[in-house]
C-alpha cells in the first residue's frame, strides 16, 4: 500500500513568519511530487511541483525534495492570512516520460492558519 | 476551476437511494479521474478513464458504484444504493502540466 503521510496540524504561524509543511512517502520509486492548496469548501489547487532532489522556488513558496529520505517539504515565506488553508502533498510513482497512469496518491493534508 | 465542469454542486439523499454525478472536461482531455474526498482526508482515486475505456477501477466499490464515459468526453459516476459512509466530495480531474491535475469544483454528497 503506497502511503503519503502528513502531520494533520493544525499548524498556526504569525503573519510574516515562515510556515514549514512536511510530507513523507513510502514508495521509493516515486518520481513526481506535488503540493496542492485547498481552501475550505473548495477543490484542491496545484501550487508547486518538484521532480529532482533539492529546492525549487516559486515566489514565496519553496518545495524541497530528498528522495533518499523519502521526504518532501513546502516552505511558505512571509506567510499571509490568505495562505490559511489545508495543504495536500501528492505523489506519483510513474516516470515523467512514461505517459502512464499519472495517478496521484494524496496525503491527508495539513491545516495551516496564519494569524494576523 | 477552469477546464472541468461538475454538477450538481450539492446533493442530499437518504441512505439506500441512488445518485449520479456528472463531469465535463471542457478542454476535452483523453484522461479523466474521479476522486472521493471524505472530510478531513485527502482525495482517494476511484476510477481512471482513458478516452471511453477504464484504465484503473481497482478502488471503486463496484457493488454500489459505477462510472462511464460517453464518447470519451463527459463522464457520470453513480452510487446505488448509497450508504452513510459515502458522504464525501466527489472530484473529477484531468491532467495538467507536469503530471499534476486540474480538479473540477466537486459535488458534495450528504447521505442521511
Whether B56 has its CB under 8 Å from any CB of chain A: the answer is yes
- pLDDT(B109) > 80: yes
Three-state DSSP state, A105: strand
Q: How confident is the model at residue B29 (pLDDT cuts 50, 70, 90)?
A: confident
Give the residue ranges of DSSP H helices in B6-65.
none
Contact B91 A4 (CB under 8 A): no
- pLDDT, one tens digit per residue, over B54-102 is 988 999 999 999 999 988 789 999 999 999 999 999 999 998 876 688 9
Q: How many CB pairs under 8 A join A and B?
A: 60
Contact A43 B40 (CB under 8 A): no
- pLDDT(A99) > 50: no
Mean pLDDT, residues A29-50 taken together: 92
The rounded mean pLDDT for chain B is 92
Read off the C-alpha cell for B33.
Answer: 479521474
Q: How confident is the model at residue A82 (pLDDT cuts 50, 70, 90)?
A: very high
Strand partners, A85: A112
The CB density around residue A21, as the number of other CB atoms within 10 Å, is: 22
DSSP-assigned states of every residue in A69-96: TTEEEEEESS--GGG-EEEEEEEE-S-T
Which region holds residue A8: left if phi is over 0, alpha if psi is between -120 and 50, else beta?
alpha
Mean pLDDT, residues A61-84 taken together: 96
Q: Which of B7, B3, B5 is nearest to B102 (CA)?
A: B3
With a CB-CB cutoff of 8 Å, which residues 9-48 of chain B face chain A? Answer: 31, 33, 40-45, 48
Q: How confident is the model at residue A9 (pLDDT cuts 50, 70, 90)?
A: confident
Read off the C-alpha cell for B101.
Answer: 491535475
Contact A46 B44 (CB under 8 A): no
Q: Which among A45, A103, A109 is the nearest to B45, CB-wise? A: A103
Pairing status of strand B101-103 against strand A4-6: unpaired
The reported pLDDT for the residue numbered B41 is: 94
For testing contact with chain A, the best of B49, B100, B106, B110 (most A CBs within 10 A): B100
Q: How confident is the model at residue A31 (pLDDT cuts 50, 70, 90)?
A: confident
- pLDDT(A29) > 90: no
Three-state DSSP state, B72: helix
d(CA A62, CA A52): 13
Amino acid at each position: 500500500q503506497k502511503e503519503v503521510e502528513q502531520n494533520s496540524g493544525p499548524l498556526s504561524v504569525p503573519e510574516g513568519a515562515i510556515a514549514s509543511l512536511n510530507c513523507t512517502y513510502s514508495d521509493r520509486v516515486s518520481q513526481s511530487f506535488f503540493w496542492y492548496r485547498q481552501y475550505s469548501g473548495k477543490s484542491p489547487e496545484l501550487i508547486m511541483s518538484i521532480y529532482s532532489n533539492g529546492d525549487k522556488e516559486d515566489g514565496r513558496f519553496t518545495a524541497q525534495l530528498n528522495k533518499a529520505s523519502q521526504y518532501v517539504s513546502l516552505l511558505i515565506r512571509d506567510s499571509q492570512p490568505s495562505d490559511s488553508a489545508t495543504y495536500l502533498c501528492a505523489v506519483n510513482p510513474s516516470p515523467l516520460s512514461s505517459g502512464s497512469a499519472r495517478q496521484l496518491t494524496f496525503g491527508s493534508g495539513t491545516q495551516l492558519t496564519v494569524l494576523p | 476551476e477552469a477546464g472541468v465542469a461538475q454538477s450538481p454542486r450539492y446533493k442530499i439523499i437518504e441512505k439506500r437511494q441512488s445518485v449520479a454525478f456528472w463531469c465535463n472536461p471542457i478542454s476535452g482531455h483523453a484522461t479523466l479521474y474521479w476522486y472521493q474526498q471524505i472530510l478531513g482526508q485527502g482525495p482517494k482515486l476511484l476510477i481512471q478513464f482513458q478516452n471511453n475505456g477504464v484504465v484503473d477501477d481497482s478502488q471503486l466499490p463496484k457493488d454500489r458504484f459505477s462510472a462511464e464515459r460517453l464518447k470519451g468526453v463527459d463522464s457520470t459516476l453513480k452510487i446505488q444504493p448509497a450508504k452513510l459512509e459515502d458522504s464525501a466530495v466527489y472530484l473529477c480531474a484531468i491532467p495538467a502540466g507536469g503530471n499534476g491535475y486540474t480538479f473540477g469544483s466537486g459535488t458534495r454528497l450528504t447521505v442521511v
